[in-house]
Structures are given as C-alpha cells and as structure tokens.
Amino acid sequence: MRPLSRIARLRAAMIALVVGALAIPTVAQAQDEPDLDETGSFYLEYMAGVSHSPKGTIRGANDASIGLFGNSKQKPVGYFIGTAVGGYVADNIRLEVQIGYRNSEINRIKVQGEPSGAKNSTISMLSVMYNAYYDVDLRDQDIPVVPWVGLGLGWGMPRIDAENQAGPMQLDIDDTDSTMVYNFMGGLTWPFTDQAEFVLGYRYLASIPFQVTGTQSGLRQRFEYEYGAHEGYSGIRFRF
C-alpha cells in the first residue's frame, strides 16, 4: 500500500485538474468570438494513433539498489487514444484539457545481467494535460488547412508491468506512480463542415523521473525510470 502522503498529493492534483478544466469554458466565454472560428468558441475532440516509446534507462533508486542499472526496449509501435475539450481565449489561441492513454509492449528488460527477454510485459502512461495552441490562419491565401503548434504540462500516471525470463536473478516489476509530464505538438486541421474538422498531429510526450517498486533476485527493490513517447495521431474535432 502506498503512503498516505502520496495518495493525498494525487487527490490534490486531480482536484486542481478538474478545477482547471471547468475554468476553460469560463475564460473562453469572457472573450469575443475569435476571427479564426466563426462557428463557435468551444470544441470537443477525439483522437487515436500510434505511440513509439524509445529504449529507456532503469536504475536503482535506493541504497539497496546500488549497482542496479539497465534498460528496457519496447516494440516499435504501441497505441494512443485520447479526448480533449477546449476553447479559444484570443484570436488564433486556444486552450484545452486533454486526457490520453498510451501503451507499448516491452520486448526486453534487465538491470543486472539477467536474461532480458520479456513476455506479456507492458509500459503505459495515463495523462491529463493542460495544452495551449497557436493556429495559423491561412484563409486569406486560399489555403484550406490550418497549421498549428502547441505545448502543454500536466499530470501522468505511468505503469510498468514487466518481468524477464524466469531464473535466480529474475526482474519483476508491477507498479504505478504519479509524475509531472510535458508535451510538444504540431499538426494540421482540415475543416470539412461548419462544425467538424479532421485533425492530423504529432506529439512528443515525456515525464520527469518516477519510481516503481519490484523484485530483483527475489529482493524487493525500488527503481527509477523516465518515460518518453513519440506519437502520430488523427482525430475529429466538433465545434459548438
């Protein structure tokens, strides 16, 4: 069982995220309707795509784990799904709260020379992000797409569920943590009706170091890990 202090911090973070999500429509409503968006200031977006989590470094995180240093290697392609609600707060500038989940299968994981092959092992990240975007309005040039760039900061819940080949030095991790995450995005939007748009985007999402608990050679250990993922996705955005 996790210490009460961590549960309390997690609860406080979720309350802050909910308050922020409720504040976005209020801020957007207080602004004049932006020139870029003639049909409404709010939107709801659904997205899905692929997620690639590069090779990651895993290391011992306490005195009992001195000398434990290794890595995990994921399969090239995992998946990503997400949804977002947002609105315009100024011309061409929009804010949103986005909930996303990505999952990749782990091929190999080790920390101290043990056999690294892994079966039915995964690494995943649930994230709640505050994102800000700038849309480039090119309608005066008769260009039917809207390029955009964005960045964001938020809360993430990573999970590692992995074990390598059975043996006296077997590594086994099945744990979650909470951590700060950030992302950078870019993409294109194609309006195809007055209320709906097709979205194509790229995102790089990463975390600060977090800790998970597992066993190595039968001994309970704590490990440190940093998560990163490159994601390509498409989606539908509905304005109202």
Q: For the whole model, what pTM was predicted? A: 0.82
In the predicted model, residues of the chain with pLDDT beneath 70 are 1-40
Please calculate the CA angle 140-143-149 and round it to the nearest 5 degrees.
Answer: 95
* Nearest in space to 134 (alpha carbons), one of 88, 93, 97, 184: 93
pLDDT at 175: 97
Q: What are phi and psi of 39, to 5 degrees?
A: -105, -5
pLDDT at 51: 98
pLDDT at 190: 94
pLDDT at 65: 85
User: What are the b/e assignments for 146-183, b being 16+ CB within 10 Å?
Assistant: bebebebebbbbbbbbbbbeeeebebbbebbbbbebbb
pLDDT at 9: 52
What are 131's strand-pairing partners? Answer: 96, 152
Structural domains of the chain ordered from first start: 4-239 (2.40.160.20)
pLDDT at 23: 46
